[in-house]
Amino acid sequence: MIDQDVSGTRGSGKTAMGQCYCGALQIRVMLPVSWVAHCHCSQCRHYHGAAFVSWFGVRHGSYWLNESAVVWFRSSDNAERGRCRDCGTPMLFRSQRWPDELHVALAVMRESVGRQPDMHVYYDDRVEWVPLQPTEPCHAALPAHDTGA
């Protein structure tokens, strides 16, 4: 269980909680989060078993999770995906591309992170069986400022 205060000097002092299906893996993030986006890449779709995954980013030092409940899976040469050791809920992504940031699946949050997704990444890889008419910007890959999972 989470027992550490993360309300340090960064951010607003407000936090949001999230957890896996069984509750063994919990995370608390400081608000505001860095960004929120929908990822349509094939790795996210296959790992989560979903049409796309909505992620948000938090800087190191702006979150707390019970690391002992995480099982990390190396999904590429420079990235890992984290899931609950007990129920298997996929929740986390970290990469050498963003060494100071953790990406968290938005759907595991029990409380609002205070912002809505504002872009789609890897939109050209999207599945055809979900009709989308996005109002947010759509990028074939990652935008120039490297935001996304």
Kindly report the backbone phi and psi dihedral angles of residue 102, in degrees, each rounded to the nearest multiple of 5, phi listed first: -115, 135
pTM metric for this prediction = 0.88
Quickly state the pLDDT bin for 6 (edges 50, 70, 90).
Answer: very low
Strand order in the sheet with 15-19: 15-19, 26-30, 63-65
Instruction: Quick: pLDDT tens for 56-105.
Output: 999 999 999 999 999 999 999 999 999 999 999 999 999 999 999 999 99
Average pLDDT of the residues in 39-68: 96
* pLDDT of residue 3 exceeding 50: no
Average pLDDT of the chain?
90
Name the residue ranges covered by the structural domains of the chain.
15-125
- Looking at residue 13, its pLDDT comes to 86
Question: Using CA atoms, how far apart are residues 56 and 94, in angstroms rounded to an integer?
Answer: 12
Instruction: Give CATH for domain 15-125.
Output: 2.170.150.70
